[in-house]
Every structure is written in C-alpha cells, then in structure tokens.
Amino acid sequence: MTARYIREEHHIFRDAFRKFLEKEAYPYFHEWEKQGIIPREFWRKMGEQGFLCPWVDEQYGGFNADFAYSVVINEELEKVGSSMIGIGLHNDIVVPYLSEYGTEEQKRKWLPKCISGEIITAIAMTEPGAGSDLAGITTTAVRDGEHYIVNGQKTFITNGIHADLIIVVCKTDPKAVQAHKGISLLIVERDTPGFTRGRKLEKVGLHAQDTAELFFTDAKVPAENLLGEEGKGFYYLMEKLQQERLIVAIAAQTAAEVMFRLTKDYVKERTAFGKKVSQFQTVQFRLAEMATEIELGRTFLDDLIELHMKGENIVTKVSMAKWWITEMAKRVAAESMQLHGGYGYMEEYEIARRYRDIPVSAIYAGTNEVMKMIIAKNLEL
C-alpha cells in the first residue's frame, strides 16, 4: 500500500530517478566499492538531472520540492547500496543547515553549486574523543580580527575526501560554564589554509562511501563563514537532528525490505532434501516473523514522515524509530545471511554486502543507546 504522502508526481519522479540509477549507478556500484569512493562525475550527473537538494528554493536553483521527494531519493539510493548515504547526507542533512541558518550572501554563494553537484558537503561533529556527546568536543575556533583560527581534529566524517564545504562543529567559547553554550558552526572551504585531510578510513562496510579524518592546525577561516550566530551551534544541531535520524531510519527500513526480498526469492529457488527451502516450516516461520517486523517498521515510519512533513515535533518518536528500525534491520540481515547458507557468506551475493553495511546505522546520528536516553528523558524518567 502506498503511503498517503506519496502522490502521482512522486511516483513519476521515482520512475525517472530509478531509470537514472539503472543507467548511472547499478552497473558501476561494485566497482565503486572496490575503488572505495563514488566518482564526482556521478554527483554532477545527479545535479544535472535535478536529484540534488530538490527542496531548495527556486531562487537558488531548486524547485521547492516537499520532503516526500527526499524520501523517494533516499529509498532509491539505498536500494542501490548503503554506500550511497553520502548523497542523502548532502541533500537532507548538511545543506539544510545552509538554507536555514545561512546569510543571504552565503546562500547565493553556495546553494546553487550544492544543487548542481559542483560542491559536495560534509558535517564534522565527531572527534577521536567525542562522539554522541557533542558538548564534549575540543576543536576550538578563536576569533582573530576578520578570521577564526581553528585547531582540532575530526574523524569518521562522511564525504570527508570529496567535501568542498564542511560545516565544522567547534567551540568559540571554551570557557562557557555550560559547555554546549560555547559551540558554534563554521563553514570551512576546501582550500582553507591549515586544513588538511587524513587517510580515507577503511571500514567494515560502506566501502564506496568516502569517510575520512580532518585536521585543523591554525586553520584560517573567514569570520563571514560563521553559520548563524556564535554560541548557537548546539541548538542548531538539536533542531536538525530530528531529520537526520529520520533519514537514517528511512535507509534502514529500505535495506530491511531489500534483504527480505532477496532472501524470499532465494529460498523459493533453492532446494534441499528434495524440496524448496521455502517449504520448510522453520523457514516459513522465520520469514513470517521478518515480514511482520518489517511491516511494523514501515507503518510507524510512514506515520512519522507525515508528521515531520506537517512540521510537528517528533523527537521522541524519531528516536524510537531510529533505534528500533536499525536494530530490526540488523536482525533481518543476520537471518537473511543464515537462510542463504554458504552462499550468503560469498561477496558475489548482495546479502553479504548488506550484512556488512547495516550495523553502522545503529551507531551514527547518535548511537541507539543515546536514542534510548532521549526517549527516557522525554518520558520524564
């Protein structure tokens, strides 16, 4: 059943985007996994076809698309492979900061190129000693005349190698009594003096997704690159994390649906002891359980998307969705690999890649333990 927020124009858009991916992504994805990066040329093709940040205002090159277009894009990218998450991060996590908190000059300077694919973005929150605890970051930005001097290190940065524009979470007031009140967001450009990239990190999964370390050694960032107001960074992050966690839930839900389809098809074809594997009651029960959990996830997720599109506060529920759906997808991955037997452990089978890729969804955008802390707090426990 199609979700209520999906209309005819979204179906048309999905068909067009799927055809684009069938031509430009599916045939090359395995090679991108081996190369450890998605080519910039693919980003430019996405931009040329209007698949990057379609929600942005027309005056900057977008077409004021509603969030349902973002849902379609993220679902179809996930069907190709989880390593495509860097595009969703650019579209629906990083660029919204520019659109929401940027000055008119900043928006005119950068948004059109974010839409065309000329600029790839990233957001640098995590540090070697600070992950989900954003108030614990140590990267500093000290005002010096017309510049901020930035010092620190970031790690696990999605799009870290490709990124031309990075929103860096830093402390402009390290002495603030309440640590979170000293946090600001700075926009760091590719050629900033004192900014360097470390190695492209080798991960268990998401092999085509470029993840990197970033270093700032007396990096000289123009004061005009401050995003929003000084000291308000933590609050901006809190406002935008609702959508970020929703995007993670959408990808995990889609991955679970893909893995279920792969497994159902496989057990209906595979024979053992003279009959189809799908005819064994134990297999039928496991598939029935998976199908039920997937349906529960989809129903909950579609409801949340509708509420989000209405502008409602869904912080508690989206925290529930992020942890439950990602954990459900991990269970589906494990069951699916087991039901594939030995072939499930072979790299040539998609389920092996899916099994590698899904666990990190329970870690990024705030670990699932942090999601439970948020839920508990909002339950007034």
pLDDT, one tens digit per residue, over 314-339 is 999 999 999 999 999 999 999 999 99
Q: What pLDDT band is residue 130 in, cutting at 50, 70 and 90?
A: confident
User: CA-CA distance, 171 to 173, in Å (whole number)?
Assistant: 5
Q: What is the pTM of this model?
A: 0.95
Tell me which amino acid residue 18 is: R
Which of 75, 104, 119 is the C-terminal boundary of a domain? 119
Tokens of 123: 């957001």
Tokens of 120: 């790839």
**Mean pLDDT of the 298-324 span:** 96
| 309 and 371 inside one domain | yes
User: Domain tally for the chain?
Assistant: 3
For residue 6, the SS3 value is: coil
Q: Is 100 in contact with 232 (CB distance < 8 Å)?
A: no
Checking if the pLDDT of 133 tops 90, the result is no
Would you say residue 185 lies in a domain?
yes
| 78 and 158 inside one domain | no
| 87 and 190 inside one domain | no
Checking if the pLDDT of 179 tops 80, the result is no
User: CA-CA distance, 211 to 38, in Å (whole number)?
Assistant: 11
Domain containing residue 67: CATH number: 1.10.540.10
| 177 and 263 inside one domain | no
pLDDT at 1: 62
Which of 171, 205, 231 is the C-terminal boundary of a domain? 231
Round the average pLDDT of the chain to a whole number and report it: 95
pLDDT at 291: 98
Q: How many CB atoms lie within 10 A of CB 187?
A: 22
Q: Which residues pair with 130 in a beta bridge?
A: 127
Would you say residue 2 lies in a domain?
no
pLDDT at 281: 97
Tell me which amino acid residue 340 is: H
**Mean pLDDT of the 293-313 span:** 97
| 351 and 250 inside one domain | yes
| 46 and 130 inside one domain | no
- Helical (H) or strand (E) element with 271: strand 271-272
**Mean pLDDT of the 152-171 span:** 96
pLDDT at 21: 98
Q: How far is CA 134 from CA 85, 129, 131, 231, 240, in A?
A: 22, 10, 7, 13, 14
Which of 231, 256, 291 is the C-terminal boundary of a domain? 231
Checking if the pLDDT of 134 tops 90, the result is no
Domain that holds residue 39: 8-119
Checking if the pLDDT of 284 tops 90, the result is yes
pLDDT, one tens digit per residue, over 60-99 is 999 999 999 999 999 999 999 999 999 999 999 999 999 9
Q: pLDDT above 70 covers what percent of the chain?
A: 99
Q: How far is CA 347 from CA 28, 86, 194, 251, 344, in A?
A: 16, 22, 40, 21, 8
Domain containing residue 341: CATH number: 1.20.140.10
What are residue 294's phi and psi, to 5 degrees? -65, -40
| Angle made by CA atoms 245, 250, 254, in degrees to the nearest 5 | 150
Would you say residue 317 lies in a domain?
yes
User: CA-CA distance, 36 to 161, in Å (whole number)?
Assistant: 11
User: CA-CA distance, 172 to 147, in Å (whole number)?
Assistant: 12
**Mean pLDDT of the 168-174 span:** 92
**Mean pLDDT of the 261-268 span:** 98
Checking if the pLDDT of 101 tops 70, the result is yes
pLDDT at 175: 77
Would you say residue 3 lies in a domain?
no
User: CA-CA distance, 308 to 202, in Å (whole number)?
Assistant: 35
Q: pLDDT above 90 covers what percent of the chain?
A: 92
pLDDT at 132: 72
Q: What pLDDT band is residue 2 in, cutting at 50, 70 and 90?
A: confident
Q: Would residue 244 show up in a list of annotated catalytic residues for this protein?
A: yes
| 196 and 96 inside one domain | no
Q: Is 150 in contact with 170 (CB distance < 8 Å)?
A: yes
Catalytic pick among 76, 78, 213, 244? 244
| 259 and 343 inside one domain | yes
**Mean pLDDT of the 265-272 span:** 96
Show the DSSP H helices in 25-143 as ranges.
29-35, 40-48, 67-80, 85-89, 95-101, 104-116
Structure-model confidence comparison of residues 129 and 276, the more confident one: 276
| 131 and 88 inside one domain | no
